A and B are shown apart, each in its own frame.
Chain A
Amino acid sequence: MNVGLEHYLTVSAMLFCLGLLGVILRRNVLVIYMSLELMLNAANLALVAFSRFNENLTGQMMVFFVITVAAAEVAVGLALIVALYRKRQSAHVEDLTSLKL
């Protein structure tokens, strides 16, 4: 079987949907955060696939940047979640309602 661009894109779309479902349905902030990362990586996969099949390295360049920025983002995001957990003793989104009227 010859693996083509559409296969990569399908995998990327499925990963993206899984991530999105996780963001929408899960209640734990940490899991939501992980699902977000999954969506980010789905996008990365699509970019690399396009780059590979179009014989153009710009997409891969972009992915490097995304990975770097995502690493920084993980550092900040995880720190926020840990701080939140320490403050509230909970990482459940339904408990985090202090901004709601």
Chain B
Amino acid sequence: MEPTLSPAGIAALTILLLPLAAAAVIAFCTQRDGERSANLSIGAIALSFILSLGLFFFTGDKAQEITFNWLSVGDLKVSFGLLLDPLSKLMLLVVTGVGLMIHIYSRGYLHGDRSFSRYFASLSLFTFSMLGIVLANNLFMMFVFWELVGVSSYLLIGFWFEKNSAADAAKKAFLTNRVGDFGFILGIILTWVALGSVNFAELASALDGKAFPFASLTEPLGKIAGGTHWWVVHPNVLATLVGLLLFMGAMGKSAQFPLHVWLPDAMEGPTPVSALIHAATMVAAGVFMLCRIFFILDIPGSHALEIIAWIGGFTALLAALMALQQNDIKRILAYSTLSQLGYMVMAVGLHAPGPAMFHLTTHAAFKALLFLGAGSVIYACHHEQNIWKMGGLREAMPTTWRTFQWGTLALCGVWPFAGFFSKDAILAAALEHQNIPLFVLGVFIAGLTTFYMSRLVLVAFCGNARSEEASHAHESPNVMIWPLKILAVPTLLAGAWGIDAYIGKAFPGGHQPHNEGFWQNLFSPFNHNILAAAFGLLAVVAGYQLARTLYVNAASDPLPDKIGVLAKLARDRFYFDELYEWFISVTQETLAKVADWFDRWVIAGLLVRGTHGTTELFGRALRLVQTGSLQTYAFLFAAGVVLVLAWQLLQTHAH
């Protein structure tokens, strides 16, 4: 049956397929012509962006769904479907909007690169996959695009694959994500087995008001575990398990502890890639997914959310501490991304998916701005990334400086920048749930964030130039400056646009933010929850003051002298990489030894040599029988006849 498409459905499908078409055309036709490839890719995402704007403004808040049957295996029916609701429409806007800016910026940043076309093809492929995740209406389709995003991320991190570090980083990101994805698919399968569907809308209605939705699974699982009654799974344990398995997917993509190690290394890719994929959109996919399946996590009796909240908080703290002692401008931003992702995950865990999505949206804008600003700085300093070799860029690059400053203010959460509103919403959610430890943690991380961002700004942009490159730096070309300027607008204003109220429509129940107009929104955090706002701002002031006393006109980092071991720990990222390396080498070594033993003795020894040996033995024995003497054969023949006869006769005699 041919499904009839509404105009909105056609638009959504076009948004999804345009970047794919661009990627295909670039791959098959315009490989040679870099300029044309770039224009194609930019054109595709620009059209997608315009269509997304249209969807955002001209379609109602009611969720729409279009579905094509894709495959059905037994009871499992997987459809290829698009879901348009406030959540996906907002995310569409974020992905295509930020994506468009970064496509344009890339045109300047990578100008003259040998593989210009390959870059834009990968970028378009990524956009397609990301839009697929956003629009997916069921878990399987989401998983397919989830993996596609992983592939395009791999391609782009390893874009400069001639560099060993880039190739290794790409591999690391891919493999680390595999760990998370394994949990994700287990979670999807468990969900399907227990609830009989993978479609979000059907799942939501199946879960609605059910006391123990996973009860149907307890018996079969108990049977697998032993078949007797001594091992009975409580439905709540299962609900928690499913929630956590699904969260594992987010843990990989959104780089939450303990799978956070790949994100900082992913900075080996070109800076615009870091901005688009590893700061603004892809890493946010995990948070988006958590919000999408929030109703599964939020099953009464499930403890998944509490664990998710603490993992998010812990990641945020850990990453903020690591960021304190990094010297690479992109790595500082990478750790701050980790930390902010931790914030968002923590918000989901605090039963506040709305603020999580709000922070995701604002973060996408200002973190993309920060990364593009960092890219501009790196470009100006001839690919120097160490902040201690910069300095004094404020005068040399006024536009970059201004926009970077705004991005920093937004990231730190200074009123009236966008970051303040979303961070405040998360802190308020922590207070609302009476979760004082997480609230304190959140405020502390806000202070840390301000501290390390101020360190970055004071060292890289203020003071005097510390190297030859930095003193000769000049402003980047217009194609790179304009995206910065455009991204600065949402960085300043997105907080009070009423995005939180728009997201609220996707999560009925609980406290609902209202859109009371721009000026009202601007002050609503102070009216709504003054404590959260006050503590948030206090943390910012404290962090800035501390950074100012330490880093104004500093020639080198004074922090290691002051806090000693902690600084070294932070600089070496708390030895997680070494720990994993050790762990992997130990397990791998053992596994390899066992496999080697098995291969040597069981496969090669028992099976291969055994078969060969026994056959040969039999052959040798049988060869003796073949004497070549007719008389021996005649004797054997006669003896055989006698034996058969004797046996026959004895048989008949016995009866």
Contacts and interface: CB of A to CB of B under 8 A. Distances in A.
A23 B634 contact: yes
B638 A20 contact: yes
A100 B628 contact: yes
A23 B638 CA distance: 11
Interface in A76-101: 93, 97, 99-101
A100 B632 CA distance: 14
Nearest to A16: B638
A24 interface: yes
B216 to A, nearest CB: 72
Contact of B631 (A25, A97, A99): A25
B635 interface: yes
B565 interface: no
- Name the residue in A23, A25, A97, A99 with the highest tally of chain B Cβ atoms < 10 Å from its Cβ: A23
A25 B634 CA distance: 10
Given A20-B638, A24-B638, A93 B628 contact: no
A101 B631 contact: no
B630 A93 contact: yes
A24 B631 contact: yes
Contacts of B634: 20, 23-24
B569 to A, nearest CB: 80
A24 to B, nearest CB: 5
A17 B628 CA distance: 23
Contacts of A99: 628
Contacts of B628: 97, 99-101
Interface string B599-637: 000000000000000000000000000001111001100
Contacts of B630: 93
Interface residues of A, number: 10
17 contacts: A20-B634, A20-B638, A23-B631, A23-B634, A24-B631, A24-B634, A24-B635, A24-B638, A25-B631, A32-B631, A93-B629, A93-B630, A93-B631, A97-B628, A99-B628, A100-B628, A101-B628
On chain B, which size bracket covers the interface? under 10
Given A23-B631, A25-B631, A93-B630, 14 more contacts: A20-B634, A20-B638, A23-B634, A24-B631, A24-B634, A24-B635, A24-B638, A32-B631, A93-B629, A93-B631, A97-B628, A99-B628, A100-B628, A101-B628
A53 B631 CA distance: 35
Nearest to A32: B631
A32 B634 CA distance: 12
Contacts of B638: 20, 24
A24 B634 CA distance: 6
A99 B631 CA distance: 15
A61 to B, nearest CB: 26
Contacts of A23: 631, 634
Interface string A1-31: 0000000000000000000100111000000
Nearest to B641: A20
Contacts of B635: 24
A20 B634 CA distance: 9
Contacts of A25: 631
Contacts of A24: 631, 634-635, 638
Closest 7 CB pairs of A and B: A100-B628, A24-B635, A24-B631, A24-B634, A20-B638, A23-B634, A93-B631
A32 B630 CA distance: 11
B610 to A, nearest CB: 29
A35 B631 CA distance: 13
A31 B631 CA distance: 13
A25 B635 CA distance: 9
Contacts of A100: 628
A69 to B, nearest CB: 21
Contacts of A32: 631
- Name the residue in A20, A24, A25, A93 with the highest tally of chain B Cβ atoms < 10 Å from its Cβ: A24
Interface in B632-655: 634-635, 638
Nearest to B638: A20
A4 B474 CA distance: 133
Interface in A41-82: none
A93 B635 CA distance: 15
Contacts of B631: 23-25, 32, 93
A99 B634 CA distance: 17
B439 to A, nearest CB: 94
A53 B635 CA distance: 32
A23 B631 CA distance: 7
B464 to A, nearest CB: 98
Nearest to B631: A24
A56 to B, nearest CB: 24
Nearest to A20: B638
A15 to B, nearest CB: 15
Nearest to B632: A24
Nearest to B628: A100
A25 B630 CA distance: 11
A24 B631 CA distance: 5
A41 B631 CA distance: 20
A29 to B, nearest CB: 10
Contacts of A101: 628
Interface in B220-247: none
A99 B628 CA distance: 9
A23 B639 CA distance: 13
Nearest to B626: A101
A97 B630 CA distance: 10
A19 to B, nearest CB: 11
A55 to B, nearest CB: 25
Contacts of A93: 629-631
A98 to B, nearest CB: 11
A97 B631 CA distance: 13
A62 to B, nearest CB: 21
A20 B635 CA distance: 8
A100 B633 CA distance: 14
A29 B329 CA distance: 104
Nearest to A26: B631
A80 B628 CA distance: 20
A93 B632 CA distance: 12
A24 B632 CA distance: 7
A55 B9 CA distance: 103
- Name the residue in A20, A99, A101 with the highest tally of chain B Cβ atoms < 10 Å from its Cβ: A20
A21 B628 CA distance: 19
B117 to A, nearest CB: 70
B420 to A, nearest CB: 97
Contacts of A97: 628
B646 to A, nearest CB: 14
A99 B627 CA distance: 12
B480 to A, nearest CB: 87
Nearest to A25: B631
